[in-house]
Structure 1
Amino acid sequence: MDTVRRFQLSQIPAASWAYVRRAPGTFVWLAILFVTTMVMHRLSPDALNHVLGNRSTNLHQLQEDPIRVLITSALWLAGGGWLGYFVLFNLFHVPAERWLGTWRWLSVAAIAHVGATYLSEGVLYLAIRHGQAPESAVNTLDVGVSYALAGVTAVLTYRISSPWRFLYVIGVLLVYGLPLLGTLTFTAIGHFSAVLIGLACYPIARSRPGRWDPGEWVRSIRARVVAHR
């Protein structure tokens, strides 16, 4: 038994590396976020506000240097909760990158990030113009990876076999749509916009083979458990 256990433990590094290299873009992104999160924890509040403010996709920065802030804003986490995003990236980005391929996955993430940013900031701009938001809102902090995550989460709809696909997309729409029923914020609009953009990325996903059947997956796990009894 000890020999078997040692053998299994010895396989962990190779298995971990095999897992990581099948979604290289996701784990490079996570590595960058880990570094920037460590930097955030070491900055004073004033220094942190300055750093994030210069990387924020707010109205002011989008007018001054849109390409720079659209890229750099996706390399920082507003709340600094790297571990939570590590879990979410593994649940959604990893399977999406493996299924779509790195470049298609990155395209979906980028389209959702950029599209939702401009849609949400456009709504904020209209609110300022009509006196429903203060002028200072042009400098509102807006950094993070959640729009890209929402878009990728949505595009995974096309990875799932029917009828599970419909349950999944309903769940995604509820998770991101319910915040719109409360106090309406530009981030809630951005997240829901990112979901719609992800669903609109069907042309990127339609040619990809390999549908995932949750029912079949559960049955295979059950069969393995029975076989090892």
Structure 2
Amino acid sequence: MIEHARRGLRGLWRMLPKPTSTPFTFCYALILLGTALYADFGDQETVSLLLRESSTDGAHLAERPLVVLIASALWVAGGLLSAYGLAFALVLAALERRVGGARTAGVFLLGHVLATLATELPVAGAVAAGSLPEASMHRLDYGISFGLMACVGALSGLLPRRGEVALLGVAVLTCAQDLIELIDPLSSWGHPIALLTGVACRSLIREDGSAGGTGPAAVPGPRAAEATDEDVLL
């Protein structure tokens, strides 16, 4: 049992982002770690102010869209204890190994932006039409979950069939649970939109029908197959 635990830890360590093999994910993860630490242990009044100013609500999107779209993706909802942090590191690192940092960043950004606009703009329209109160334009909305879900959709298409089904199955079940519980309607609808965005990006991040970049999946052979099987654990 101890040996199995050691193997599991070694496998997890190999899948985590590294500064040499996955620099984009590694640097981004460091930023998220820093903001999560500050959110958990920093001055809470300042944290609340920063989160409000980073929110991609309707009012902020109308005033300074580029600033809040970037700032909102610098925080992990739930802080250090959030499962989003580990999922981010594993999923984006696996995607970056296959398609490179630029494409990974593009998928993440596209999912983050499209899902945000697709959920917030209808709210703004409903407020303008008088169907929703003005307070709906000032809700708290931040985090990496939309971008992460887009990367899940893109990564699933680069895995062996078994891994694709498993990863998409988990993502679909998560989206379904969100929609059933509907605790936060905008996030609940944003997650499947982001997932579909990532799935739609599959053909854009491939070259000649295979993953681009210099990661293991771009180089055929036993070592590539071994690395791909490890990422099925995601």
Pick the TM interval, shorter chain. 0.7 to 0.9
Superposed displacement of residue 154, structure 1:
0.9
Superposed displacement of residue 16, structure 1:
10
1:42-191 pair list within 5 angstroms? 42-81=41-80, 84-129=83-128, 133-162=132-161, 164-183=163-182, 185-191=185-191
C-alpha distance in structure 2 between counterparts of 1:45 and 1:165, whole Å? 41
C-alpha distance in structure 2 between counterparts of 1:29 and 1:195, whole Å? 20
Deviations 1:142-170 (A, max 9, x none): 11111110000111121112355345424
Superposed displacement of residue 56, structure 1:
0.8
Deviations 1:33-54 (A, max 9, x none): 1222222234444332211111
| Residues 15 and 93, structure 2, Cα contact 8 Å, conserved in 1 | no
C-alpha distance in structure 1 between counterparts of 2:37 and 2:78, whole Å? 12
Superposed displacement of residue 135, structure 1:
1.7
Does the C-alpha gap of structure 1 residues 104 and 166 become closer, same or farther in structure 2, counting only changes over 3 Å?
same
Q: Is the deviation greater in 122-131 or in 69-78?
A: 122-131
| Residues 127 and 133, structure 2, Cα contact 8 Å, conserved in 1 | yes
Q: Which has the larger radius of gyration?
A: 1
Superposed displacement of residue 81, structure 1:
2.6
How many positions carry a matched residue from both structures? 203
Superposed displacement of residue 198, structure 1:
0.6
C-alpha distance in structure 2 between counterparts of 1:120 and 1:30, whole Å? 26
Q: SS state of the match for residue 27, structure 2?
A: helix
C-alpha distance in structure 1 between counterparts of 2:145 and 2:164, whole Å? 22
| Residues 57 and 137, structure 2, Cα contact 8 Å, conserved in 1 | yes
C-alpha distance in structure 1 between counterparts of 2:225 and 2:170, whole Å? 17
AA of the residue aligned to 1:192: P
| Residues 33 and 80, structure 2, Cα contact 8 Å, conserved in 1 | no
Q: SS state of the match for residue 81, structure 1?
A: helix
Does the C-alpha gap of structure 1 residues 87 and 54 become closer, same or farther in structure 2, counting only changes over 3 Å?
same
C-alpha distance in structure 2 between counterparts of 1:132 and 1:179, whole Å? 24
AA of the residue aligned to 2:39: M
Structure 1, unaligned runs of 5 or more: 1-14, 219-229
Aligned CA RMSD, in angstroms, stands at 2.9
Does the C-alpha gap of structure 1 residues 35 and 19 become closer, same or farther in structure 2, counting only changes over 3 Å?
closer
AA of the residue aligned to 2:62: Q
Query: Paired residue for 1:29?
Result: 28
Superposed displacement of residue 186, structure 1:
0.5
Query: Paired residue for 1:205?
Result: 205
| Residues 158 and 205, structure 1, Cα contact 8 Å, conserved in 2 | no
Deviations 1:66-110 (A, max 9, x none): 011111111112321366344212321110011110000100000
C-alpha distance in structure 1 between counterparts of 2:100 and 2:173, whole Å? 28
Task: Calculate percent identity across the aligned residue pairs.
Answer: 27
Superposed displacement of residue 127, structure 1:
4.5
AA of the residue aligned to 2:135: S
| Residues 161 and 213, structure 1, Cα contact 8 Å, conserved in 2 | no
C-alpha distance in structure 2 between counterparts of 1:105 and 1:63, whole Å? 27
Superposed displacement of residue 30, structure 1:
1.1
